[in-house]
Structure 1
């Protein structure tokens, strides 16, 4: 199938690229603490035979994939000097372009690109009016080959080349080149321009290589919410332990493989394996980069946190203590979410390289089918601006979503017998039994509905007033400050409330406190999940 791009489509793609990389440039500038500018791009369709000029280039190759919102991949050629410079700044080294580009530089660059490309994906989501998720980029330093472009060329025999000029303070101007398949470019242009340029008839099917396609939208949102609640409560506990304000952003969900994780973390990192001993059957893993672990250890030991130093047994012990308490808080939050007791075994913590060949049998990296990746951006007041990954095996992820969605699996209602079997399998319990028509049945306790709370007479009275409008408000926090402090406020000012990140918010109905709830993300909007109803007894 031949695909061509009209002038209007190319202009739309140029603007999309400009906005995405503009957001990425802003994120890079904040990371480096110096100005970073990326110019308006130029676009051209390049035939397969004309790509040979890039094969002699020994820059940094960045392979990108999309986990949500778009189907396809792209390549970025990143200037070698910029890779060295960014790696040195990220590792707080003295900058010198004469240095060799080491694996540590590539690891630091990967961490920077995660945030830069993530900012770009957020900007694209807003412009395309759909959630765009990225697979963790693979970063390599080597000569490019024909094989690198083959998947992009496809049947069209050409690719779209997007070229930017890039200037970072203290560096000479560099060239950044991105390549898209024409099919992906046409899909994005169609999304931007609507019916003027409909998508090609041969619409791409979900890739069998991405098992996340087997999860429907509700299941994906449920997994995000599980991660959000468990990590949010953990962050609150860590904040109290180290007496620092901690912020964790809404999670990003994607599918990954052990090989992808190895590319993302080529250097040793801290791996925390959490196994459930009651209430759920399964395990998951948290991955924390070494520098962040050092800072957490220093805070736990009441040392000056500078992020310098090696990970030793004392550091491991300090981080283990923090993780014990954090995961305990997470288990408590999960118990509330699943409406039953959930306990974990003491977290197993290791500082090592990710290597399947050395992973013990049954370990989370000793699997072939891949993992669900939930990525959180974590900020520890003035010290850490990084990312934590939560990795969940596919079958465990599917089991948890099936249970929470109340008997629905893969969008179809389960029969009572299958639901009971699934509940016993997921939760690892026999369940309480009672006699009913001579047969044993599982009894599960769920919150009562309105009809069980009010009497028939009260329900009749409610019918008369149920159409009255009630204003609901969610209060994140409050603070009292002198008027002189208010007068000092300006753009960029920060005010500290009386509540910690991750704490439930107060819900008011016409000014009366009625409940407490967690903030959740519902598609592109904020929402709440009720944690506690305030009754007369309170």
Structure 2
């Protein structure tokens, strides 16, 4: 034998080691999840906790409170040491907006109470088919309400496939199976309180791809577009024509002929008087009403209720008439109009 040749003992040792396989097994590490995605998971979990409290409190007819505690990147092997069985796992897959596998996990005792209450047997001793179906219906209602709440922050409708409910012992293999073969995920823990006596925990598993799809939840809501500053308005003083004394009629516009056949109401006003109701009620035949004009004072001639001229009353054959003594200027007409309205 040469110096480089192996002895029989060395050959036997190598063969023995090959038959026994590698001395160390491959260990799966928890996934590396960015902080932004964990922030999104926390927001999702708070919404889930609120929905769990509202729905389970309604179904059990008792005040219920669920509080999000933490979210940890985990493996199925590591999680089996956190969750002790027997438990009930409701596994489901998000299919729209959110994408990935998830599972809600309750202790079998709590799941029996929830499902049993739905079928009229809150103290059900076994997680039988009827209780399981009722619990599944509760989970479906919870997810439906949660999906509605998630729609706005996700910016799209959220939906999931039908949930599957199984009673398991929370072994690593069973947790992996519940998550569709995923061995890495995020473990979400909730504190559960129902009424005055029930204190416990429930959990949720979220696959790595589901956690990644939650990232829009970590984005701040869009800020409203800033309002444009109002543009300055240039204001110019308004100029009015001065009212001057002018007794001459203004020149007629070229198209005045078009207006000459329009009828206007012309009235002559002898005077006015203000009276109290009691005095008006006393009026009768022979009563005299004193006016605000003096005897011999010119009367007013009004055109469409605007004083146009002044004159004196005359008798023409058997009719009264008015002899025009003064045509009011534009300034006087405006002045008398203001006095009459006052």
Match of 1:476 in 2: none
Tell whether 2:87 aligns with 1:312.
no
Tell whether 2:38 aligns with 1:211.
no
Match of 1:400 in 2: 214
* Structure having the higher Rg: 2
> Do the aligned residues in 2 keep the contact of 1:273 with 1:348 (CA within 8 Å)?
yes
The verdict on how the C-alpha distance between 1:280 and 1:297 changes in structure 2, with shifts beyond 3 A counting, is same
The CA deviation at 1:382 is 2.7
The verdict on how the C-alpha distance between 1:321 and 1:223 changes in structure 2, with shifts beyond 3 A counting, is same
Aligned ranges 1:240-259 → 2 under 5 Å? 240-259=58-77
> Do the aligned residues in 1 keep the contact of 2:90 with 2:163 (CA within 8 Å)?
yes
Cα separation, 2, equivalents of 1:400 and 1:236: 23
Aligned ranges 1:39-50 → 2 under 5 Å? none
What do you get for the CA RMSD once the two structures are aligned? 2.8
> Do the aligned residues in 2 keep the contact of 1:279 with 1:341 (CA within 8 Å)?
yes
State the TM-score, normalizing by the size of structure 2: 0.53
The CA deviation at 1:359 is 7.5
Cα separation, 2, equivalents of 1:455 and 1:318: 56
The 3-state SS of whatever aligns with 1:449 is: coil
State the TM-score, normalizing by the size of structure 1: 0.35
- Structure 2 unaligned segments of length 5 or more: list them: 1-27, 232-342
> Do the aligned residues in 1 keep the contact of 2:97 with 2:213 (CA within 8 Å)?
no
Cα separation, 1, equivalents of 2:208 and 2:191: 22
> Do the aligned residues in 2 keep the contact of 1:235 with 1:326 (CA within 8 Å)?
no
Match of 1:302 in 2: 120
The 3-state SS of whatever aligns with 2:73 is: strand
The CA deviation at 1:383 is 4.2
Cα separation, 2, equivalents of 1:405 and 1:359: 27
Cα separation, 1, equivalents of 2:71 and 2:209: 16
Match of 1:327 in 2: 143
The CA deviation at 1:320 is 1.0
The verdict on how the C-alpha distance between 1:265 and 1:251 changes in structure 2, with shifts beyond 3 A counting, is closer
The CA deviation at 1:210 is 4.3
Cα separation, 2, equivalents of 1:383 and 1:322: 21
Aligned ranges 1:344-423 → 2 under 5 Å? 344-355=160-171, 357=173, 363-364=178-179, 366-368=181-183, 370-401=184-215, 403-406=216-219
State how many pairs are aligned. Answer: 204
Cα separation, 2, equivalents of 1:385 and 1:448: 41
The verdict on how the C-alpha distance between 1:224 and 1:358 changes in structure 2, with shifts beyond 3 A counting, is closer
Cα separation, 2, equivalents of 1:312 and 1:268: 14
The verdict on how the C-alpha distance between 1:377 and 1:300 changes in structure 2, with shifts beyond 3 A counting, is same
Match of 1:225 in 2: 43
The 3-state SS of whatever aligns with 1:291 is: helix
The CA deviation at 1:457 is 2.7
- Structure 1 unaligned segments of length 5 or more: list them: 1-207, 408-445, 459-538
> Do the aligned residues in 1 keep the contact of 2:168 with 2:174 (CA within 8 Å)?
no
Cα separation, 2, equivalents of 1:253 and 1:360: 18
Aligned ranges 1:512-527 → 2 under 5 Å? none
Cα separation, 2, equivalents of 1:360 and 1:253: 18
The CA deviation at 1:263 is 3.0
The verdict on how the C-alpha distance between 1:353 and 1:310 changes in structure 2, with shifts beyond 3 A counting, is same
The CA deviation at 1:287 is 0.7
Cα separation, 2, equivalents of 1:279 and 1:265: 29
